[in-house]
Amino acid sequence: MTTLAPTRPTESAGVRVLRTVLRSRELAIVIVLVAIVLFATARRSSFVFSADGWRDTLLAPSILLVLAVGQMVVVVTRNVDLSIGSTLGISAYVVGKIFVANPDTSVFVVFAAGIAVGAVVGAINGLLVTVFNVPSLVITLGMMYVLRGALTHEVGSERINAQDFPAHFEKLGTQQVLTIPVLTIIALVVVAVVGYYLHTARGGRELYAIGSDPDAAVLYGLPAARRVFGAFVLCGALAGLAGVFSTARYATAFSGTGKDIELQAVAAVVIGGVAIFGGSGTVWGAAIGAFLLVTINRALPILGISEFWQGAVVGLLIIGSIVLDRVLSIRRQHRLLEARDHA
């Protein structure tokens, strides 16, 4: 079979890269994403070609982008973090409270505070999961309730409104550098750094190894507990960052901020081709998945899909992308089997 590309030494590096890209799972969602943007733009050029449209196209996904990256890192270790929505809410409220106390607080302090709050929550999750060796789905489900309950208990009916945030912070929500929103730039930097780490660094590869086979990883001597702990801390910290993003963009914080967003983050990760049982997938995939999920919600009204059926379309998209994963992996399996038979 000539399709056995990966090991053929005769091919040039360029062809190999091209082949990998063409066969990659990520490409499929990029194509869907581009198609949606093109269709929407064809119907309403302002979807992309207007100041607001361009900005929103880039800015709207930034929050989910950050969350999806964090979730991906946890999912790849065969865990899941359902508490990120509550973490986001707590971080957003802390940010609001800081500004209520002192409107002149530097933006950097606020970012640091938000991330720190998230990291602490992530560390608690990580400790519970690794020290007690209990399933993360249950732990983070419990933590989701506990954190949201604690937040509601503390906040009550209070709502931090636009009037409570200083202008310099509110402006950050839409500030652009070379037409690219600042929040998007930060989100993309996060994607790039985490993506690079997972792709190349030893620690990153070990996360995949742990997710592929936790028992084998431990037997092999990988510091599995430490790595999983680290993944939860990172996920929490990014949820905290998303909380800062949320306040900057929506200029409001209350007890319900970030509710239900955890399932969206998991959905983005799944759409992005990350295996829910760990060990495979890329940060880029998760990021594109988040981009697609947000963009399709923005584009559907323009594509003429009735308001009432949009939820169903998003559901189909998620199912479609997991089925696609399956089809691709079966085909890969076939190829490998054939290769073995020919050998």
Partner 1 sequence: MRINTKRFAAGAALALVASVGLAACGSDDGGSGDGDGTTVTFLPKNLGNPYFETSDAGGEKAVKEFGGVYDEVGPDTAGPDAQVSYIDTAAAQGVNVLVVSANDPDALCDSLNAAREAGTKVVTFDSDTNPECRDLFINQATAEGIAKVQVDMIAEQIGDSGEIAILSAAANATNQNAWIELMEAELEASHPDIELVATVYGDDDDQTSFDKTAALLADHPNLKGIISPTTVGISAAARYLSTSDAKGKVALTGLGTPNQMRDYVKDGTVTEFALWNPEDLGFLSAYAGKALADGDITGEEGDTFSAGDLGEFTVGADGTVLLGDPFRYNADNIDDFNF
Partner 2 sequence: MSTQTDGSAGAPARTYSSYSRNVALRVLMTREMAIVVALVVVYLYALGNIQFFDGPLTLFNLSKEYAPILMMALPMTLIIITGEIDLSVASTLGVSAAVTGVLVIEHDLSVPTAAVLAVVVGAVLGALNGFFVAYVGLPSLAVTIGTLALYRGLAEGLIQDKRIAGFPDTWQDWPTERIGETQYPNIVIPVVVLVVVFAVLLHFTTFGRGVFEIGLSDEAAHFSGVNVARTKLVLFTLSGAVAALAGVYVALKANSVATDTGAGFELKVIAGVLLGGVSIFGGRGALHGVVAGVLLIAVLNSALQLDGQGSEVIQIIIGLLLVGSVIASSNLSRVRALLPRRAVKTAARSTTTPPTPTPGDDTRKVVQ
Contact of residue 256 among partner 2, partner 1, none (CB under 5-8 Å per partner type): partner 1
Complex with partner 1: residue 11 or 158, whichever CB lies closer: 158
C-beta closer to partner 1: residue 26 or 56:
56
160: phi then psi, degrees, rounded to nearest 5? -90, 120
Choice between 86 and 184, CB closer to partner 2:
86
- Among partner 1, partner 2, none, what does residue 146 contact (CB within 5–8 Å per kind)? partner 2
Secondary structure class of 61 (helix, strand, coil): coil
**From the list partner 1, partner 2, none, partner contacted by residue 153 (C-beta under 5 to 8 A by kind):** partner 2
**For partner 2, the closer CB: 184 or 282:** 282
Task: State the binding partner of 266 from partner 1, partner 2, none, CB within 5 to 8 A by kind.
Answer: partner 2
Which of the listed partners (partner 2, partner 1, none) does 305 bind, with a CB threshold of 5 to 8 Å by partner kind?
A: none
Closest to 34 (Cα-Cα) out of 268, 270, 295, 282: 295
Closest approach of partner 2 to the CB of residue 257, in Å: 14
Give, in order, the Cα–Cα distances in Å from 304 to each of 57, 125, 307, 313.
Answer: 18, 43, 9, 12
**Cβ distance to partner 1 smaller for residue 246 or 321:** 246
* Minimum CB–partner distance for residue 281 and partner 2 (Å): 12
In whole angstroms, what separates CA 226 from the centre of its chain?
Answer: 22
- Rama region for 274: left / alpha / beta (φ>0; ψ in -120 to 50; rest): beta
- CB within 8 Å of 89: residues ≥ 6 apart: 147, 148, 151, 243, 253, 255, 256, 257, 258, 259
Find the shortest distance in angstroms from Cβ 59 to partner 1.
10
Closest approach of partner 2 to the CB of residue 38, in Å: 24
Q: Supply the DSSP symbol for 153.
A: H
From the CB of 329, what's the least distance to partner 2, in Å? Answer: 4
Q: Shortest distance, CB of residue 304 to partner 1, whole angstroms?
A: 9
Q: What does the binding site for partner 1 look like in residue numbers (CB under 8 A)?
A: 44, 46-47, 50-53, 56, 60, 152, 155-159, 161-163, 173-174, 246, 249-252, 254-257, 259, 297-298, 301-302, 307-308
Binding-site partner at residue 109 among partner 2, partner 1, none, CB < 5 to 8 Å by type: none
Residue carrying structure tokens 């959905």: 267
**Gap between the Cα atoms of 31 and 17, Å rounded:** 18
251-254 contacts at long range (C-beta below 8 A, 24 or more positions apart): 251/161, 251/162, 251/165, 251/170, 251/173, 252/159, 252/160, 252/161, 252/162, 253/89, 253/92, 253/93, 253/95, 253/96, 253/159, 253/160, 254/93, 254/155, 254/158, 254/159, 254/160
Nearer of residues 146 and 216 to partner 1, judged by Cβ: 146
Sorted by sequence, the CB contacts under 8 Å of residue 337 that are 6+ apart come out as none
Of 32 and 186, nearer to partner 2 (C-beta) is 32
Between 153 and 342, CB nearer to partner 1: 153
- Among partner 2, partner 1, none, the one that 163 touches (CB under a kind-dependent 5 to 8 A) is partner 1
**Contacted entry of partner 1, partner 2, none for residue 44, CB cut-off 5 to 8 Å set by kind:** partner 1
Reduced 3-state DSSP string for 158-174: CCECHHHCCHHHHHHCC
Measured from the CB of residue 210, what is the shortest distance to partner 2 in angstroms? 13
